[in-house]
């Protein structure tokens, strides 16, 4: 029997803080104090400090010489920047994934699983996280590791935007229906149709959440 390795203290702290931010337990703008977090997790300040640096690098936290470490605040400008890049990259990644796949059911199985988890989620935050997993699973089989990594680098910021928007205005039924249609088109082998549906889905979300941005896609 193979025993899974125990996560390092830093990784454990990182994942706990990340999850707390993305489900709204730690709120945008909330300060994070190393000594308090170390006492909470029962570790020294070193793994906490490293975890905070990593999460700041991923865009979830902000490190300031004057304010210390705080949870990143989501505003319209930040959301549009993140979604502008997603609009450029995600539909192309999905188009490539569908075109190159020899077994769409297998390659997109994780996306289907994420939809099942979203449907079973009991609160908006967990539903939003499952939605993020769905988007990631669509793009991973694109065949370009650099493209997949670029999208992964945006993952936490996109999840933070989604979590904040969902906390204010849950839209589960609409999101689920759009996700199902994207997956249906992808599984049918319609690469361009799936990419177009994904583009409309992303653009629609940011326009509903932050109307009046004056951009067009």
The answer to whether residues 94 and 187 touch, using CB atoms and an 8 Å cutoff, is no
Rg (the chain; Cα; Å): 18
The answer to whether residues 82 and 183 touch, using CB atoms and an 8 Å cutoff, is no
Long-range CB contacts (within 8 A, 24+) of 146-150: 147/89, 147/92, 147/93, 147/96, 148/93, 150/89
List Cβ neighbours of 128 (8 Å cut-off, separation of 6 or more).
Answer: 22, 159, 162, 163, 166
Mean pLDDT of the chain, nearest integer:
89
Sorted by where each starts, the structural domains of the chain and their CATH numbers stand as 9-71 (1.10.10.10), 76-209 (1.20.120.530)
The model's pLDDT over 107-152, given as tens digits with 9 standing for 90+, comes to 999 999 999 999 998 887 788 889 999 999 999 999 999 999 999 9
The model's pLDDT over 166-212, given as tens digits with 9 standing for 90+, comes to 766 666 688 899 999 999 999 999 999 999 999 999 999 888 888 76
């Amino acid at each position: 029997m193979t025993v899974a390795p125990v996560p390092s203290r830093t990784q454990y702290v990182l994942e706990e803080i990340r999850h707390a931010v993305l489900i709204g337990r730690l709120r945008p703008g909330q300060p994070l104090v190393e000594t308090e977090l170390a006492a909470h997790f029962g570790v020294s300040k070193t793994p906490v400090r490293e975890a905070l640096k990593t999460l700041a690098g991923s865009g979830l936290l902000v490190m300031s010489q004057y304010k210390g470490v705080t949870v990143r605040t989501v505003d319209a400008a930040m959301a549009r920047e993140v979604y502008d890049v997603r609009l450029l990259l995600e539909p192309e990644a999905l188009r490539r994934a569908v075109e190159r796949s020899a077994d769409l059911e297998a390659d997109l199985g994780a996306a289907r699983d994420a939809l099942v988890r979203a449907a079973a989620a009991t609160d908006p935050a967990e539903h939003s996280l499952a939605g993020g997993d769905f988007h990631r699973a669509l793009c991973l089989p694109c065949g370009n590791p650099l493209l997949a990594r670029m999208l992964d680098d945006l993952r936490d910021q996109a999840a933070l935007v989604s979590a904040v928007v969902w906390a204010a205005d849950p839209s589960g039924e609409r999101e689920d229906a759009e996700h199902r249609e994207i997956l249906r088109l992808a599984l049918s082998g319609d690469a361009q149709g799936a990419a177009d549906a994904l583009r409309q889905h992303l653009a629609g979300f940011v326009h509903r959440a932050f109307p009046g941005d004056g951009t067009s896609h």
